[in-house]
Amino acid sequence: MSPRPTTGHVRRPAILRAAAEVIAERGVIGTRIADIAERADTSAPGVLYWFATKDELLTEALAFADDSFYAELSDELARLDGARARLARIVELWPAEGDAETVLWMELWVRALRDPAVGAARERLDGRWRAAIADVVREGQAAGEFQPVDPDGFALTLGALMDGFAIQLALHDPAVTPERVREHCMALVEERLGREGVADAI
Amino acid sequence: MSSSRERILDAAVVRIASDGIDAVRIARIAMDARVSTALVHYHFATREALLAEALEHSFATAGEVRDGTGDPVTRLRAMVEQCLPLPGEQERDWVLWVELWLRAVRHPELRPTAAKLYANMHDWFREAIEEGEFGPVDAAAIADRALALIDGFGVRALLGDPAIPLERARDEVWHALAGDLGLRAGTATS
């Protein structure tokens, strides 16, 4: 019989949580499989049973972190009334995820520069995020709360704005504070989606 | 005319962009610059120092050559253009830029370099907006937003995101900027 871990269903999430922590601290290049194994309280072969490469650990760890983020997000959003309040919550929650998440995204970008498989994973993760924003925009439009602009186009722009600011927050740029970032993001919401906004889109 | 230090930096920009700051071989940069490996180590004690100086070097050269004049709208459009990962030198600078973000998060000694580069870009945009006399606008806030959009769209365009080709990135950034300046997007994009 092959030495399959029988507690696999328990171990995979533990490995991914450990991978997210260790990679955020040391980077893909500076991380050894053994470091992740140690953090997850397993062995290097135990890690390699699930994940062949460090890049796979990075992309899967991000997808796993995203799963819990989206689960939490949909709970939070369900409790709120109105699409505007939901977008405000998205904006509020997202940079609050902190540096660890942003640094993993930066790892993803750097690895994606030179590895198409990581690039494909980046596209899936981005797509999910854009869809989450666009869904809230559609709800708002259906409820007559927002103007009928292209929801996917808006999601691209809000996503880009949030990322651009997240970079500066992660770099501890003294000129950028989380409050300012939220103001900028909500200003974009009003400007593009608001009923009273200047209608000069296109 | 070019000093050995400049040749090292020119070579570093090219090699870091192709291989990455972690994987780049110092000996290879030395060979490209026609200097000894020891001299590279003498000028740049760490990879962080090399990356920081290579970026500053690349940006300084870019600024000198391309800072054109003209009417304020044309000037700002040209500035947006210069900040996007266009094929060639700008794409190379962008790769270094993305490497810098990651490296600076882990190595706080690099953050002043990143902060300085951002401050330079910010001032560059803010001054162009102020000098353009677009009326009572908050030039600093407009510059902040333009830079965030340039980074957010630019990194996707650099990575070949099918949803964000370069033209889209350029149009989105310009649309936001033109709106902030009170220009009608239609005339501003013509």
pLDDT score, position A65: 86
Mutation target for A interface from B97, B126, B159, B172: give the one with most A CBs within 10 A. B159
Our CA-based measurement puts residue B182 at a distance from the nearest CA of chain A, in whole angstroms, of 10
- Average pLDDT value over all residues in chain A: 88
What's the whole-number mean pLDDT along residues B69-87? 90
Scanning the structure block, which residue is given the tokens 């999430």? A13
Nearest by Cα to B169 from A7, A18, A163: A163
- pLDDT exceeds cutoff 90 at B66: no
The answer to whether the CB atoms of A110 and B152 lie below 8 A apart is no
Nearest to A159 among B114, B152, B158 (CB): B152
Name, in order, each residue with C-beta under 8 angstroms of A45's C-beta and a sequence gap of 6 or more.
Answer: none
| Lookup: tokens for A129 | 């995020």
pLDDT score, position B58: 82
8 A C-beta contact, residue B59 and residue B100: no
Name, in order, each residue with C-beta under 8 angstroms of A55's C-beta and a sequence gap of 6 or more.
Answer: A28, A111, A115, A117, A118
What's the whole-number mean pLDDT along residues A145-163? 96
pLDDT score, position B65: 43
pLDDT, greater one: B44 or A174: B44
Interface size between A and B, measured as CB pairs under 8 A: 111
pLDDT, greater one: A77 or A98: A77
Confidence of residue A3 (pLDDT cuts 50, 70, 90): low
pLDDT score, position A201: 43
pLDDT score, position B62: 62
Angle at CA of residue A109, ends B29 and B163, nearest 5°: 125
pLDDT score, position A161: 96
What is the C-alpha to C-alpha distance for residues A138 and A127, in angstroms, rounded to an integer? 16
Lowest mean pLDDT among A60-74, A119-133, A135-149: A60-74
Is the four-CA dihedral B88, B91, B93, B99 of positive or negative sign?
negative
- Average pLDDT value over all residues in chain B: 88
pLDDT score, position A93: 83
pLDDT score, position A202: 40
pLDDT score, position B157: 96
Three-state secondary-structure class, residue B160: coil
Scanning the structure block, which residue is given the tokens 């689960």? A71
- pLDDT exceeds cutoff 90 at A94: no
ipTM value? 0.89
The share of chain A scoring above pLDDT 70, in percent, equals 89
pLDDT, greater one: B22 or B62: B22
pLDDT score, position A197: 47
Q: Which residues of B touch A111 (CB under 8 A)?
A: none
pLDDT score, position A200: 44
User: DSSP state, A202?
Assistant: -
